[in-house]
A and B are shown apart, each in its own frame.
Chain A
Amino acid sequence: MTYDINKVLPKIQTVSDKYILGLKDKWFQDTHAQVTWKEYVPQAQEWFLSSKLVDLHGTEHFPYVDVTCGNTQFIESFVLKYGWDGFQILNREYAYYGLMGKHGVELEELEPNKPMIITLPDFITGEIRWEWNEILRIAEERNINLHLDFAWTIMARNISIDLTHPRIQSFGISMSKLSLNWNRVGLRWSRQRTMDGITILNHYYKTDINTNVFSCGSFLMNHIDRDYGWNTYGALNKDICEKLNLKQTKFVHCVHNPKQDDHGLHCITPLLVKHA
């Protein structure tokens, strides 16, 4: 098979394929059973943590599990708690912060006692940050609590993260990056539950909290394998990279192009969808 290098794009697109689009049609055309918040939580917990490609070690240290409407809510609830100036991010973070004027700092500039949110894998290299061990050391030294945004682990492989480090306070995972932005659902795991938007939402509204959204999330989990991305497109990803001299990353839909100088991620979603 030959692939068009011009379809390798600098703009990242999620993998919106026939199967995923078909599920959307099915959700809106068919009738479905209601899935309560109580039923959704254990199902989602099992589904998110069932990956054979992403190993999150030490999740038992995070006994408080709350429903979220995707990781954007995980971020926004965190920001609501600590204030726009009350948290920090590193350079080369998820664009969400920069779009609203929040800028990252280098490791040595991290302020003591100020919580930090980190996207893993990061969306510049497609890897766990090379300085991860250094981040943990500095967090320990400077008493910086870490909150991990694992949104992109849903499309990733070969990731193993030890969550037992005491400075890691919470992490969130969501289904959205499976091209399911039309129904954002996720979970947040906390070492110790504290007051914020998600806590309030889960406390007050859990009897009938977004039942439609979570019923749909449950439906999607019943029909999508947790490692859908790599299990479906792994071989094709490898073939594209070999034929076009691209370098694989942890993301099934993103690669590095050694011929480009930007060292950023490039998207092969159009090729994956076309040649599947």
Chain B
Amino acid sequence: MENIEFQLKFNYTYDYILPDIRIYVDDDLKMVTQNQEHCKFWHECDFSDHVLRIERTGKTNKCPEQTVELKQVVVDGIDIRNILWIKSYNENYWPEPWATQQREAGKTLEKYLEAELLFGHNCTWRLPFTSPFYNYVMDWLQ
């Protein structure tokens, strides 16, 4: 078991309706935020598989443009930018009727996008990792 510090940095753009962000490690809800640029929390991880998960909601068809960008993730003091670019993925919830229109036009909408850190619409972003975290980083390098 290890107690790990997570630091996440976001950038938001919106007109007047804020996007909602919920951050989880596995099934533990760690933070709920709307406009907080820097988020910091600790989580006790047993030495096994885990998932850092961000649920981005709040975008409806009536809501003007809004985006959330995940700018940085620091875990256990390590900026894991390169790991995000390879290991993270985003589950998209394409809006209707836009999604149907795209499909009818012959376009394929991918449900999962790797390394997507700019959340234009509602989505669930995930980063699977293992604990001990230092070991995960070193195994990733190998």
Q: Which residues does A use to contact B, with CB under 8 Å?
A: 81-82, 192-195, 199-200, 203-204
Give bound CA distance, A228 to B25, whole Å.
Answer: 51
DSSP majority for the B interface? mixed
Task: Give the nearest-CB partner of A86 in chain B.
Answer: B77
- What number of residue pairs across chains A and B have CB atoms under 8 A from each other? 23
Task: Give the nearest-CB partner of B40 in chain A.
Answer: A113
Contact of B132 (CB < 8 Å), options: A82, A193, A204: A193
Contact assessment for B78 and A195 in the assembled complex, using a CB-CB cutoff below 8 Å: yes
Q: Answer yes or no: B137 CB below 8 A from chain A CBs.
A: yes
Give bound CA distance, A82 to B77, whole Å.
Answer: 8
Q: Which B residues lie within 8 Å of A192 (CB)? A: 2-3
Give bound CA distance, A199 to B137, whole Å.
Answer: 12
Q: Answer yes or no: B76 CB below 8 A from chain A CBs.
A: yes
Interface bracket on B:
10 to 19
Instruction: Identify the interface centre among A81, A195, A200, A204: most chain B CB within 10 Å of its CB.
Output: A195
Give bound CA distance, A199 to B77, whole Å.
Answer: 14
Give bound CA distance, A53 to B137, whole Å.
Answer: 40
Give bound CA distance, A129 to B138, whole Å.
Answer: 38
DSSP majority for the A interface? helix
Contact of A200 (CB < 8 Å), options: B2, B3, B76, B138: B138
Task: Give the nearest-CB partner of B78 in chain A.
Answer: A195
State the Cβ distance, A191 to closest chain B Cβ, in Å: 10
Q: Which B residues lie within 8 Å of A193 (CB)? A: 2, 132, 134
Task: Give the nearest-CB partner of B135 in chain A.
Answer: A203
Task: Give the nearest-CB partner of B132 in chain A.
Answer: A193
Contact assessment for B138 and A194 in the assembled complex, using a CB-CB cutoff below 8 Å: no
Q: Which residues does B use to contact A, with CB under 8 Å?
A: 2-3, 76-78, 132-135, 137-138
5 new A-B pairs (CB below 8 Å) besides A192-B3, A194-B77, A195-B77?
A194-B76, A194-B134, A195-B137, A199-B134, A200-B138
Q: Which B residues lie within 8 Å of A204 (CB)? A: 138
State the Cβ distance, A127 to closest chain B Cβ, in Å: 33
State the Cβ distance, B8 to closest chain A Cβ, in Å: 17
Give bound CA distance, A108 to B2, whole Å.
Answer: 30
Task: Give the nearest-CB partner of A195 in chain B.
Answer: B134
Give bound CA distance, A194 to B77, whole Å.
Answer: 8
Give bound CA distance, A192 to B134, whole Å.
Answer: 10
Query: What are 8 sample pairs from A and B whose C-beta atoms fall under 8 A apart?
Result: A193-B2, A194-B77, A194-B134, A195-B77, A195-B138, A199-B134, A200-B138, A203-B135
Q: Which B residues lie within 8 Å of A82 (CB)? A: 77
Q: Which A residues lie within 8 Å of B138 (CB)? A: 195, 200, 203-204
Give bound CA distance, A193 to B132, whole Å.
Answer: 8
Instruction: Identify the interface centre among B2, B134, B138: most chain A CB within 10 Å of its CB.
Output: B134
State the Cβ distance, B50 to closest chain A Cβ, in Å: 16
Contact of A81 (CB < 8 Å), options: B2, B3, B77, B135: B77
Task: Give the nearest-CB partner of A83 in chain B.
Answer: B77
Q: Which B residues lie within 8 Å of A203 (CB)? A: 134-135, 138
Task: Give the nearest-CB partner of A199 in chain B.
Answer: B134
Give bound CA distance, A194 to B45, whole Å.
Answer: 13
Q: Which B residues lie within 8 Å of A81 (CB)? A: 77
State the Cβ distance, A165 to closest chain B Cβ, in Å: 16
Give bound CA distance, A43 to B134, whole Å.
Answer: 26
Q: Which B residues lie within 8 Å of A199 (CB)? A: 134
Give bound CA distance, A195 to B135, whole Å.
Answer: 8
Q: Which A residues lie within 8 Å of B76 (CB)? A: 194-195
Give bound CA distance, A82 to B137, whole Å.
Answer: 18
Give bound CA distance, A203 to B78, whole Å.
Answer: 17
Q: Which B residues lie within 8 Å of A194 (CB)? A: 76-77, 134
Give bound CA distance, A81 to B76, whole Å.
Answer: 10
Q: Which B residues lie within 8 Å of A200 (CB)? A: 138
